[in-house]
Structure 1
Amino acid sequence: MRMDEIGWHSVHGADFINEREHGAGDWVFLLIKSPCRIFADGEMRQFPAYTWILYTPDAYQKYGADGAEYYDDWMHFAPDAEEEALLRAMHIPLNTPVTLPKGTEISKLLREICFEFYSVHLHRLETTDLYFRLLFYRLHEQLVRVKAVPDAAPVKERLQQIRAFIFRKPFERFTAAQFADELNLSEADFLRQYEAENGSRFPDDLIHARMVFIAGQMKVYLAENQTVEEIAQLCGYAGEAEFSAEFARFIGKSPQAYLDALR
């Protein structure tokens, strides 16, 4: 990817308008962070804050303020053949305004790209290229969330990935609502489909992942002469009884029996 120029949080007056009759000559990603007007479907139309548009090099461009101060982030670039194919594979809309459900997330990412590109870091161009791909992966995730483009991975596969993710991060405070939102499901549907696909309940897997991790750490606790009560407290449990019951349920023996077997 060739980055030509990038700007973050540019500010213009209420009368701002920009028009490029024959395009910019390169690709332009524009995130408008204030209510705006953009030429679309043959006329100037109003759009809310955090609307973005990806212009191809020769596309007609006209956009501006909507009667108040105008803010935007922007990027002029040229993707290589592989990156252009990736954009099309993800069905990223071209020359079409899209309103983001979580625009601040994209603006923060553009800020990182801007600061990195203009830095003196040794690998600033390579890092900028990685950020560029991350930007469009995040855009695709938001497009999938609002069902503007098809999801590349079926729900079945995503549910399996979620279970694997839980076991990689056993002490993360995951919620069913969090994953349901990512999959565009109600919380009840997520829980039902999770169990049907993985053969285990989501709340149980949260505990199971934690117990597997703790079992793997038992040699360390033993070397430190930690008691079961101390281990329970260290792992966030209010009391030994609840910890011991959950450990035995998922590991097959009590924490004390597990420690004794390691001696």
Structure 2
Amino acid sequence: MHITNIGINHWHDPDFFINRPQGSGDYLILLIKSKAIFTFSEGDTEASAGNVVLYKKGTPQFYRADGERFGNDWFHFLPDNEEDLQFLQGLDIAYDRLHFSQNLSEPAKIMEMLCHEYFFDHPNKTESINLLLRLFFIKLSEALHSTSQGRNGTNYEKISALRISIYNDPARDWSISAISNVLAMSPSSFQHTYKKLFGVAPVNDVIAARVERAKYLLSTTDHSIKQIAHICGYASDMHFVRQFGKITGMRPTEFRNRSQ
């Protein structure tokens, strides 16, 4: 398999739409980060953060934002041979429909690695991309087919979707009061439930999500420390530097030098 185009953490205006009656000429995978409307043969279907779509080559592609910014990770790709097609078929990821997973963190991280490989040349680029593509689809299949015993209640689904949103857009103002109001929970009940489900306090998860985004930007862009702090939701670059050092044991500049 090989990638024909890829984009990570793309956000579009609320009037965004895609209208491809003949498809895109290749296969397309989307990891969705916001509310959206997808139109399949049976009609319109609402999507949200945590949904996934795998379009087959030749399938019409119609989707649009749903009253707010549209965000997604995506890549277009083509199988190289029959073996690649059989590999995809064996993973049991149905084409041309919405899937949902409570945790897409592993596929999302692999997609970031694919993006890095795609845009930087090196002697083993083709082999690396092919291996990462296979690992991506294996981890995606695991995420879509895994079951969470004892975690099937409405609160779990809502809070899991929230956690996906935090990691997809960590720069937002994730205040406990605002989140708990949206979930119709008291702040104390929300924090207790969140930590019980995921083993970490929501405030600390927001910090972890921001640091993860910062690590990616430090290793893949030449943005200044001040720019990265702003992108990751920090009002002060000094606060960012202190928090990054506390989590990683390194200053941002040191992490950038090591990663490069």
Question: TM-score by structure 2 length?
Answer: 0.54
Structure-2 residue corresponding to 1:9: 9
Q: Is the Cα contact below 8 Å between 2:8 and 2:112 reproduced in 1?
A: yes
Deviations 1:131-177 (A, max 9, x none): 00001100111222149xxxxxxxxxxxxxxxxxxxxxxxxxxxxxx
Aligned match of 1:106: 107
Residue by residue over 1:56-82, the C-alpha shift from the partner in whole angstroms, topping out at 9 and shown as x without a partner, is 111011112111111111111111221
Q: Deviations over 1:84-105 (max 9, x none)?
A: 1011112111111111211233
Structure number with bigger Rg: 1
Q: Secondary structure at the match of 1:92?
A: coil
- Name the structure 2 match of 1:30: 30
Match runs of 1:36-75 below 5 Å: 36-75=36-75
1:145 is aligned to 146
Which ranges in structure 2 are unaligned for 5 or more consecutive residues? 149-260
Alpha-carbon distance between aligned partners in 2 of 1:134 and 1:98, rounded to the nearest angstrom: 18
1:214 aligned partner: none
Matches within 5 A, 1:82-93: 82-93=83-94
Letter in 2 for 1:87: L
Identity of aligned residues (%): 31
The AA in structure 1 aligned to 2:12 is H
Q: CA RMSD in A?
A: 1.8
The 8 Å contact of residues 37 and 66 in structure 1, kept in 2 or not, is answered as yes
* 1:183-194 equivalent positions in 2, closer than 5 A: none
1:77 alignment partner, SS class:
strand
Contact map agreement 2:2 2:129 (CA 8 A) in 1: no
Which is bigger in relative contact order (C-alpha 8 A, separation at least 6)? 2
Q: What are the superposed Cα offsets for residues 200-222 of structure 1, whole Å, 9 maximum, x if unpaired?
A: xxxxxxxxxxxxxxxxxxxxxxx
Q: Does the 8 Å CA contact 1:53/1:98 hold for their aligned counterparts?
A: yes
SS of the equivalent of 1:134 reads helix
Query: Helix, strand or coil: the match of 1:143?
Result: helix
| SS state at 2:122 partner | coil
CA deviations on 1:231-252 (whole Å, 9 max, x unpaired) are xxxxxxxxxxxxxxxxxxxxxx
Aligned length: 148
- Runs of 4 or more, structure 1, over 6 Å off, are none
Alpha-carbon distance in 1 for matches of 2:147, 2:66: 25
How does 1:166-245 map onto structure 2 within 5 Å?
none
User: Gaps spanning 5+ residues in structure 1: where?
Assistant: 148-263
Q: SS where residue 49 of structure 1 aligns?
A: coil
In the alignment, is the contact (CA less than 8 A) between 1:16 and 1:65 conserved in 2? Answer: yes
Q: Tell me, what secondary structure is at the counterpart of 1:120?
A: coil
The 3-state SS of whatever aligns with 1:93 is: coil
1:45 alignment partner, SS class: strand
Contact 1:10-1:71 at 8 Å conserved across structures: yes
SS of structure 1 residue aligned to 2:57? coil
SS in structure 2 of the partner of residue 117 of structure 1? helix
| Amino acid across the alignment from 1:118 | F
Q: Which amino acid aligns with 2:126?
A: L
Shift of 1:41: 4.9
